[in-house]
Chain A
Amino acid sequence: MNRPRAATLLGIVLVAGALVVLVAISLTSAIVYYVTPTELAARSTGEPVRLYGIVAPGSVRWNGADSLLSFRVTDGTTTVAVSSRSLPTALFRDGVGVVLAGRSTEPGRFMADEILVKHSEVYQPLKPGETIPPGLLERLGAGGTTP
């Protein structure tokens, strides 16, 4: 093997090595676990996680003065109080499944940076006999209209 080729190989190994290290470090710091409200209790406060669960009916409060949204998220056994300054994109309402990116601030309390309403990627059409959620159009001021 002549010298230029050895140098090229060495260069490739160095670049590849640097890349692997960069990827490994960035990946380990960027991995975020999905947890349920029950599993959240086992995690340390401040660790970024994605919390998923159902918005507890009747728990949504919007404080316009502070631009602070608060609600509770439950998995049936455990309930976590969530507050957020970010707003959900699609319609966010009682009983809907949500994924919350954020961290727990103290046991049982969660600060969400991002709220994703789980209108799951697998498209869910209405089941036979099902209609648009009752009260939805009324709440939006479009009551009495039927398409």
Chain B
Amino acid sequence: MNILKLSWKNITSKPLPSILSMLLLAVGLSTAIILKLTEHQLTENINNTGKDVKLVIGAKGSRLQLVLSSVFQIDNPTGNITYGFYTLLKRNRMIKEMIPVSMGDSYKRKRIVGTNQDYVRLFSGKLKEGVLFEKPLEATIGIAVATELGLKVGDEFVGGHGMEEVLHSHDEYKYKVVGVLRRSGSVLDNLILTPVQTVWIMHAGHGDDSEYTLGAGDKSMHTPEEVVEDSLSQMAKEHNHEHHHHDHHDHVEVNLESVLANIDPKDREITAILFPNFSGNAKIGVLNNANNQPNMMAVDPAPEIMLLKNKLTPFVSIIIAISWFITIIAMFSVFIGLLNSLRGRKYEIALMRVLGASKAKVLVSILFEGVILSVLGYILCLVLSHAGMELIGNWMQNEYQYEFTGWIFLRSELTYLLVAIAIGLVSALFPAYKAYKTDISETLSK
């Protein structure tokens, strides 16, 4: 029976007040840790997703909204731009890489993005199984889409128009899963990727109906139409070529081809163009070019992200303040709990001294009680915060198209163990001092 064990027995013999102190401490620290976990994952997502996009071109509107929608897949698109503008820029030799993205459709709340394979490379996406999408209606899906919706290579599904709620099912055509991507910690995890042509095919025939245009579409921006014609014929050639190698797909291919060929150039739209790895001169050129178009704008994501982070700072500060508030209440709870428990144990303290315990030993035994409570509180806090993060993560996933998880552990969580121990020690200090000062003779005489 050593001092540590004695402290433990003193705590467990009166479990209710101990549990209250522990819970308060755990809730206070959990709030702080959940905040840390969220911040860590958000930053990771922002970095993994945003760092390689140097410029975005999209329809005029809120600059932040354009970045959020086309880079982070969070907000609704600002509108559409013509595919023609994309092909026009393609002729510019200074631009090494550009990626079209076309949004507006979804399958079971997972966004479908029409793009090209460079999009996968942009986020360092690696295939887990299958291949990357190549032809219209082929889809390569993120790992979260695969696991949550139970989709695998070879499966087919029907997409719908709308990103939150499906307003209209595109049941004429089915998507076919050709590949699943590995977890990348970026926006890829939650997306269904397909060629931009798929989006056009899905929307063919609805082009004139405003209900079915993508996003908040501005329909009056189809300027460089001659370029569109070029790209159209080029695409048709490509598909004729492929046709010979895929005999068993004849029926669908012919069908798609004719559908594709019949799509009016002005209905060939995309939501935005992403530019990775820009050389400085090219950037200025593209910026000017885009900003001179009546319905387009070019936005550098970095300052917008910074702006967003700054907007979030007050909220983060409030949560931090709340977590400290709860933690300080927890400290008082440990303090009052120990003081209360010691009041009833004054005679026991005197008894320990009679039995040979020094003042220091008594002091240490009370400090131990504070520390044991706080370490237990910390352990409870780890359980609460990670389970809580997992729960909140499930909810946030739908809001932010990013998979938050409670099952990651940060090194900074260990710092909170030190914080917890410090809280235990500080709140036990005065009760321990009182025990240290106990007048044994007087106590025993009563």
- Genuine A/B complex: no
**A positions within 8 Å CB-CB of B:** none
**B positions within 8 Å CB-CB of A:** none
